[in-house]
Amino acid sequence: MSSRTFDRDTILDLTVNVIPLAILGVFIVTFVLYSPGPFAFDSVASTLQLSIIGTTFVGLLALTYYMGKAVAGAEKRLGIHAETTTYDPETGSSIPGGHDEADEAELDADADDPELPDEE
């Protein structure tokens, strides 16, 4: 068994937060590198701006890490993967494939229905 915290699928799920992190990082780097002087315009406004963006960046980074840790822990604990299995909290069982027999029957019934004509 691998000692890694996140498997490949969990990392793919967490890539959703990479774009906002990159945008925040670009704002921070751009402001720090291209502002004329450390606090050229207004030191209070510049400090406030950098602290808001920096806090948001660190918060999103921490949230992404703990979210991934929770997802990976749940997958290991339940022995299922969130993308391919539905977990029923009432019965405590997992349904492989993401649906149960009632869904199968509904899909079969829909397949037997004749197609409706297109409205023009």
Tell me, rounded to whole angstroms, the distance of Cα 24 from its chain centroid.
Answer: 17
pLDDT digits (tens, 9 = 90+) for 47-105: 888 899 999 999 999 999 898 888 888 777 776 665 566 666 677 666 655 555 555 55
Give the separation between CA 21 and CA 61, rounded to whole angstroms: 7
Helices (H) and strands (E) in the chain, counts: 4, 2
pTM here?
0.58
Which residues 6+ apart lie within 8 Å of 91 measured at CB? none
Tell me, rounded to whole angstroms, the distance of Cα 58 from its chain centroid.
Answer: 16
